[in-house]
Amino acid sequence: QKEVEQNSGPLSVPEGAIASLNCTYSDRGSQSFFWYRQYSGKSPELIMFIYSNGDKEDGRFTAQLNKASQYVSLLIRDSQPSDSATYLCAVTPTGFQKLVFGTGTRLLVSP
Amino acid sequence: NAGVTQTPKFQVLKTGQSMTLQCAQDMNHNSMYWYRQDPGMGLRLIYYSASEGTTDKGEVPNGYNVSRLNKREFSLRLESAAPSQTSVYFCASSEQQGRYNEQFFGPGTRLTVL
């Protein structure tokens, strides 16, 4: 079983819609959760982090964490074509010594 | 404030050649990391340095060595390159190891081994 799992996509949404990106993780003791955005040919860019159960909002982005279900999601409201990228979920497992990345979900926002 | 910088941006090697990838950060971070990214495999940790003077193996360390030259610089060396090491290599840094492990990435080095 992969430690961090994401649907590879692509997830296609029209401009202005809400994009919902999901991630599950296997280590129940994981403490920290991160979302990175990666444009094609570029490096990962940190966009959100969340440490506690519940929702965390930052502009058009909302991260949601449910530790009981071992599930973290990223909602992008009012999606724009410029949001088209691969979104990587990353988790700090028990021991805190590394980040474990999912393989990413490709998001396509059509005008 | 340049963040994390990497050199070179692109490199082509022949099998058996050696090279060193350079990474530097100007954010006064304690921890630094080397990843490789391959299609369908995601980002995989090669080596990391929790603090100046320490290095540890990650998920895929075979064929690589690292040096934490000082707090700013962390280099990755391929002693005898193999085609399986064709990949994109990213360096990252974070303020510290631990729960609040927000990592910031450099622009990457695209390496091809023929």
Please list the pLDDT of chain A residue by residue as tens digits (111 residues): 568 999 988 999 999 999 999 999 999 988 899 999 999 999 999 999 999 999 999 999 999 999 999 999 999 999 999 999 999 999 988 876 788 999 999 999 999
Higher pLDDT, B108 or B98: B108
Average confidence (pLDDT) over B7-33 = 96
Q: Is the distance from CB of A51 to CB of A64 less than 8 angstroms?
A: no
Count how many Cα atoms sit within 13 Å of the Cα of residue B78 in the half-sphere of its side chain.
26
Question: By three-state DSSP, how is residue B38 classified?
Answer: strand
pLDDT of res. A96 = 65
For B43, which of A31, A96, A101 is closest by C-beta distance? A101
Mean pLDDT over each residue of chain B, to the nearest integer? 93
Higher-pLDDT residue of B112, A1: B112
**Residues B37-59 pLDDT 10s:** 998 888 999 999 988 989 999 99
Element of type H or E holding B77: strand B74-78
CB-CB: which of B41, B48, B103 is closest to A103?
B41
What pLDDT was estimated at residue B100? 72
The confidence score (pLDDT) of residue B41 equals 82
Cis peptide before A81 (omega within 30 of 0): no
Test mutation, B25, B43, B100, chain A, max A CBs within 10 A: B43
Query: What pLDDT score does B39 carry?
Result: 86
CA–CA separation, A62 and A49 (whole Å)? 10
Residue of A nearest to B4 (CA): A43
Percent of chain B at pLDDT > 70 equals 97
Between CA B84 and CA B98 the distance in angstroms is 32
Residues B61-100: tens digit of each pLDDT: 999 999 998 999 999 999 999 999 999 999 999 987 666 7
Q: Which of A97, A100, A105, A106 to mutate to test the interface with B (most CBs of B within 10 A)?
A: A97
Q: What is the pLDDT of residue A2?
A: 66
State residue A13's pLDDT score.
97
CB contact under 8 A, A92 and B99: yes
pLDDT in the model for residue A39 = 97
Determine the Cα–Cα distance for residues A16 and B34; give it in Å rounded to an integer: 37
Q: Is the pLDDT of residue B108 over 90?
A: yes
